[in-house]
Amino acid sequence: MAHRNLLCCLLAMGAWCSSASAIEPLCSSASRFGPFAEAWEAKYPLSTLPARMQALTDSDCNVCHHSQPGVLGNCYREDLSDLFALGMSPADAIDQLDTVDSDGDGVPNGVEIMTPRAGEPGEIGYNPGLVGDTGVDPCGDPPNEVVTGVPETPPPPLVPTVSEWGLIVLTLLGMTAGTILLARRHRPAAAVSLNQPG
């Protein structure tokens, strides 16, 4: 039920709506456009992004749309609209954009949608159309206007430090040297006699 208004977002990604005012009535009449919301929910069943957008902006449509009146959507919505215009189904378009970085923050859409939120237990999903520490919309008008006021780019993954990498390399070198030494000590007698002239 929390994702029901998401279909408004997904519906408007296509060529069906030309203004934000045309979208508003559709948010309350979910029954006709279930395939859009169902395709998104089927792809990302564990994401809490729609509920979080509902709490932050009063509309889970803002997974794809901009909260400002008259602005249709964010970068993710624009990419989906382009694929819908090519005749793709909602499920195929959502699948195709899973590995694409619509908002240009360096993180693929699917990774953003399914990444647990830092410091927010139980929350899963960063908005694939918003960026930065304040959730700005780089594709909005005006660009870079704050939409959510919270981080919408996942933090970078932890990478082992130099000392950890050094320990890993040293362990692998030690194992390799030990294997070579043991292999030389236990060479079969037949192999030794074959190498000697005579």
* Mean per-residue pLDDT of the chain: 76
Share of the chain above pLDDT 90, in %: 34
Verdict on whether the full-model pTM lies above 0.75: no
Residue entry with tokens 């159309």: 129
DSSP state of 124: B
Instruction: Using the Cα atoms of residue 191, residue 192, residue 193 and residue 196 in order, give the sign of their dihedral.
Output: positive
- Helix (H) / strand (E) element for 136: namely strand 136-137
Question: What is the residue extent of each domain of the chain?
Answer: 6-146, 162-195
Which residue in 74, 61, 79, 58 sits closest to 22, CA to CA?
A: 61
Among 42-51, 96-105, 120-129, 136-145, the least confident range? 136-145
